Structure 1
């Protein structure tokens, strides 16, 4: 699953990595080493330019841009936005069936840039049930951004004034873990390699069934698994020290990662 991640790069850096324009209008947060649900996050979308009435401009190519959204998808038909706290993740296997996600899957897809994500080793996995959960951090060894497949929606408060700004929210898609990561957790965010970004963002593409598959085993095995401090357990803690290695040397998943086969989860 994906319940906590790090996103520390500024819009200028993300613009270069994702070949996108900056549409955040200054609303992007600073470096966030402990991104939690309901926070404002930066996403990448690709949309056709529209005229003053909101109609797509004929003959105009789609434009890729950075946008800010609140993490926790609120369906357009929801009665109030509190439902978003329960929709931070979307299962790839059921996204095409669930009413809250299926329309967004065909029309409103995004990428969620991240430096990496956190998982927690289940307490008592080695027989010591008194020991607290141990946090680990999954990241790209070369420092490049990961891109989680996401969905987004626009919600308008039926009680608000007609010209009130809508609430834009998103959800991160999750899938079965593959490769060596299955020794870490049975689920993972659907991180898309760069060669899948264009297909996922294409606003003219309505069927993305083939892109909902987990990433290739070799790509996942190239990620780094890094033990980190339990300070990340508290969402109020936020700083670069949360990403620092603790305990054993960091290793990539292809080199063994977690040898004990324990499951990881977000602390409840």
Structure 2
């Protein structure tokens, strides 16, 4: 399960890289976001397109519709690309709530083949160190004064391949810039969104990774030191 990432550059840098060609509603803040340890259950800036304008809204990472809450099911933070477009839980979000999460990389823990209790965290990022954008699906009420109980989003995940599978068998879905923009557009049909999700992911061999210290395991730790390479990994 994918459950931790970094979002530390400025809004301006993410938006400039995406180069959407669509009007952005809001301040192009030049202050670094500075979140090196983003965890589920927190509010995260979610990039979404409403009509012909882009918006950034703080939305809860995790989704639990009323029927799931009543049955005692915990909030979900990921949606598998293989089933998200058709399953009961996520189909409504896929159809009308597609969004992007801006990021600089994500974290995974590699298990020792000899002892599953021994895990080594890794930081994974684009080899160019350019911003990346996770495909997300969401439900929220941007015009409400207060967050609603069913507000939330999940990040779409895909199977890992090539070198990334050595770290973890799943990864967040990161599409090309062009596909990400089409994913956002309200004019994109759910069927076309499926095609994008399955055909336009950035190849695994364009990502790099390195081992990091255990500090990332505590969500209260936040700072650039978290992503620093270590040279004596456990795994």
TM over 0.5: yes
Indicate the residue corresponding to 2:161 in structure 1: 178
- Picking from 129, 145, 148, the partner of 1:143 is 129
Structure 1, gaps ≥5 residues long: 49-61, 157-162, 250-261, 263-268
3-state SS of 2:57 partner: strand
**2:146 aligned with 1:165:** yes
Indicate the residue corresponding to 2:181 in structure 1: 198
- Picking from 44, 51, 65, the partner of 1:75 is 65
Structure 2 CA distance, aligned partners of 1:184 and 1:164? 42
Q: Give the Å deviation of 1:211.
A: 1.6
Q: Give the Å deviation of 1:121.
A: 1.0
3-state SS of 1:213 partner: helix
Q: State the number of aligned residues.
A: 224
- Picking from 56, 73, 95, the partner of 1:66 is 56
Q: Is the 8 A contact 1:107 1:203 kept in 2?
A: yes
Q: Give the Å deviation of 1:154.
A: 2.1
Structure 1 outlier segments of 4+, above 3 Å: 22-26, 74-80, 214-217
Closer/same/farther in 2, CA of residues 201 and 77 from structure 1, 3 Å limit = farther
Structure 1 CA distance, aligned partners of 2:156 and 2:214? 26
**2:24 aligned with 1:21:** yes
Q: Give the Å deviation of 1:177.
A: 0.9
Q: Is the 8 A contact 2:11 2:32 kept in 1?
A: no
3-state SS of 2:135 partner: strand
Closer/same/farther in 2, CA of residues 172 and 246 from structure 1, 3 Å limit = same
TM-score where L is the length of structure 1: 0.74
Closer/same/farther in 2, CA of residues 77 and 17 from structure 1, 3 Å limit = farther
**2:140 aligned with 1:154:** yes
3-state SS of 2:79 partner: strand
Q: Is the 8 A contact 1:32 1:239 kept in 2?
A: yes
**2:215 aligned with 1:212:** no
**2:104 aligned with 1:115:** yes
Determine which structure has more spread, i.e. the larger CA radius of gyration.
Answer: 1
3-state SS of 2:86 partner: coil
Structure 2, gaps ≥5 residues long: none
RMSD: 3.0
Indicate the residue corresponding to 2:3 in structure 1: 3
Q: Give the Å deviation of 1:79.
A: 5.7
Indicate the residue corresponding to 1:105 in structure 2: 94
Q: Is the 8 A contact 2:127 2:208 kept in 1?
A: yes
Q: Is the 8 A contact 1:24 1:67 kept in 2?
A: no
TM-score where L is the length of structure 2: 0.83
Q: Give the Å deviation of 1:238.
A: 0.8
Q: Is the 8 A contact 1:77 1:155 kept in 2?
A: no
Q: Is the 8 A contact 1:190 1:215 kept in 2?
A: no
Q: Give the Å deviation of 1:178.
A: 2.1
3-state SS of 1:112 partner: strand
Structure 1 CA distance, aligned partners of 2:84 and 2:129? 30
